[in-house]
């Protein structure tokens, strides 16, 4: 059975006191269960505190991005080696906000995926289409192009997160039919690239996931959890999402 993941992407939110309060509430109430993994991706300055406060819970901490070089003259960047040294389990790569605002390219993602595996980090590869692309009927073409980086990377542990760009932070989400179509397409593409190993790669849904809609999303074939933005900023909501994932097994 494919492992489910519920990963909190805090983006550029929380100060140390807020992160500490979240972790204290999380540590008090979270009960890990087999088959479901909890992940938290804070911004870089918060990593040490979150790692320290959650290390006994079984939750895995992720970086929100990283450079492919292990060190060097890249002012403002953070390396995979530094994430690993800090105690991270994985790293989010290719998020639409990185593609849109920071000019993330397919070529850079190939190098970042390979670097993540080199430093024993689990990459979460984000893919997704804009509303213009969906309305033009190009959704699957866009996703096929974004997934094609995996044909150039070799093989390694992987999570894929489908996040329709038009649903991130908007309160909108793809309906069940749209999610099922896309996740089935991604599963087939992963199988074509990785063979049988592609059947076990978790495919997460992201884009205005909340405790009110997550149970329905989890019932959709090939959905193995969520990459969660706004609803992950409150410990209570994040804990509810994790419980829903655990109960869906």
CATH code, domain carrying 31: 3.20.20.70
Per DSSP, the residues of 141-195 read HHHHHHHGGGGTT-----EEEE--GGGTTSS----HHHHHHHHHHHHHHHHHHHG
Q: What is the pLDDT of residues 128-179, one digit of tens each?
A: 999 899 999 999 999 999 999 999 999 999 999 999 998 877 777 689 999 9
190 three-class SS: helix
Number of structural domains, the chain? Answer: 1
Categorize the per-residue pLDDT at 106 as very low, low, confident or very high, splitting at 50, 70 and 90.
very high
What's the Cα-to-Cα distance from 16 to each of 25, 108, 152, rounded to whole Å? 14, 31, 39
State the Cα–Cα distance between residues 207 and 202, nearest whole angstrom: 17
- Boundaries of domain holding 214: 4-247
Model-level pTM? 0.96
Q: What is the pLDDT of residues 21-72, one digit of tens each?
A: 999 999 999 999 999 999 999 999 999 999 999 999 999 999 999 999 999 9
pLDDT of residue 1: 75
Q: Quick one: average pLDDT of 209-220?
A: 96
pLDDT of residue 42: 98
Q: Annotated catalytic sites, by residue?
A: 95, 163
State the Cα–Cα distance between residues 130 and 165, nearest whole angstrom: 5
Residue 233 DSSP code: S
Distance, CA of 143 to chain centre: 16
pLDDT of residue 167: 82
């Amino acid at each position: 059975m494919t492992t489910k993941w519920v990963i909190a992407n805090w983006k550029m939110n929380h100060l140390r006191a807020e992160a500490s309060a979240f972790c204290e509430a999380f540590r008090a109430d979270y009960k890990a269960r087999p088959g479901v993994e909890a992940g938290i991706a804070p911004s870089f300055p918060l990593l040490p505190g979150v790692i320290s406060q959650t290390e006994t819970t079984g939750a895995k901490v992720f970086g929100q991005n990283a450079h492919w070089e292990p060190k060097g003259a890249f002012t403002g960047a953070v390396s995979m080696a530094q994430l690993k040294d800090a105690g991270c389990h994985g790293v989010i790569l290719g998020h639409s906000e990185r593609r849109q605002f920071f000019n993330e390219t397919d070529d850079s993602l190939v190098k970042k995926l390979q670097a993540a595996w080199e430093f024993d980090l689990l990459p979460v590869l984000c893919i997704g289409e804009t509303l213009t692309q969906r309305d033009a009927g190009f959704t699957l073409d866009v996703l096929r192009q974004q997934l094609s980086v995996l044909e150039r990377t070799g093989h390694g542990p992987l999570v894929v997160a489908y996040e329709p760009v038009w649903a991130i932070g908007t309160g909108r989400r793809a309906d069940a039919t749209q999610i099922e179509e896309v996740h089935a397409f991604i599963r087939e593409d992963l199988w074509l690239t990785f063979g049988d190993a592609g059947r076990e790669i978790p495919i997460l849904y992201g884009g205005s996931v909340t405790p009110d809609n997550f149970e329905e999303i989890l019932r959709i074939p090939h959905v193995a959890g969520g990459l969660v933005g706004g609803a992950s900023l409150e410990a209570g909501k994040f804990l509810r999402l994790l419980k829903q994932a655990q109960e869906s097994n």
